[in-house]
Copies of this chain bind each other. A is one copy, B any other.
């Protein structure tokens, strides 16, 4: 493993994340993304060859989840443990005295007494930034309500890099609920760092918000807005799917009319390029048919695994061991 350790040491020399909080995708410029993805790729190779390493042996992560999120929580736990670190899982804080009256700042100041860094999931926008103000140890934002979930956006982008080799020149379709879907907003803000073309596919009432469209425009990228995925599927390199929720529609007739146009099934896949990829942040309900799972272009479970690699890279970077 000495070759890996050497490469990690070389990576670390470029590491600007040591001791820093990870709060927002807006912290990540192109050089930061390149750095994190280089380390994440090393983590992938490390796990595929050796399963785990002892890079973070003796380090402790407090995994503080004010709302349940099995997927994200388990991904951070696995990332820390595969690097030899240990985890204090704090789930279901709502049942505990910590939540009865104690302020978030006091809770994080208590936990930083015990742990080397804190991963925080909290239902309120801005909570991670508030926690970070009071905490001397690094905070990683694992989702603050309708605010940010930066590690999700990073793993989405990393998946494109790993699957397609490069982001440059790619045609990205985002389909489904683009209004309320936090993941597509954050991913779009990261993708404008690259030379890409966007197509935003949604029912009119679930259109991509103007502020995100403004970011795309300011970066000089091209974006097409449409209601029909069939028009654009043939050119896509990436089809990023999110769920259209029935409860968003006042008029259910509108929903019933639209819903089948946004289901990814083998028929739709038949129109796509052989080397495109289908992504989804999961959990899915029925917006991607199970028959697509065996298609090699179905990247969503590999995307989950990439989440672990990206979180391994961030944990190592923040603790100065990448």
Contacts and interface: CB of A to CB of B under 8 A. Distances in A.
A62 interface: yes
Contact of A60 (B78, B106, B113): B78
A285 to B, nearest CB: 5
A16 interface: no
B97 A308 contact: no
Interface string A69-99: 1110011011001101010111111011110
A110 B58 contact: no
A50 B60 contact: no
A116 interface: yes
Nearest to A99: B70
B88 A74 contact: yes
B58 A51 contact: yes
Contacts of A88: 74, 77-78, 81
B58 A106 contact: no
Number of identical monomers bound together in the oligomeric complex: 3
A283 to B, nearest CB: 4
A114 B76 CA distance: 9
Contact of A283 (B69, B98, B282, B304): B98
Query: Among A53, A77, A110, which residue has the most Cβ atoms of chain B within 10 A?
Result: A110
A68 B96 contact: yes
A12 to B, nearest CB: 17
A109 B110 CA distance: 33
B70 A81 contact: no
A98 B71 contact: yes
Given A70-B96, A98-B70, A110 B60 contact: no
A4 interface: no
A169 interface: no
A69 B96 contact: yes
A87 to B, nearest CB: 8
A82 B106 CA distance: 22
A231 to B, nearest CB: 29
B114 A308 contact: yes
A3 B97 CA distance: 40
Nearest to A283: B102
24 contacts: A51-B58, A51-B116, A52-B58, A52-B60, A68-B97, A70-B98, A71-B98, A71-B110, A74-B90, A75-B114, A78-B115, A81-B86, A86-B86, A89-B89, A91-B92, A100-B283, A101-B283, A102-B285, A106-B282, A110-B301, A113-B302, A113-B305, A113-B307, A113-B308
Interface of A: 50-53, 57-60, 62, 68-71, 74-75, 77-78, 81-82, 84, 86, 88-93, 95-98, 100-102, 105-107, 109-111, 113-116, 282-285, 290, 301-302, 304-305, 307-308
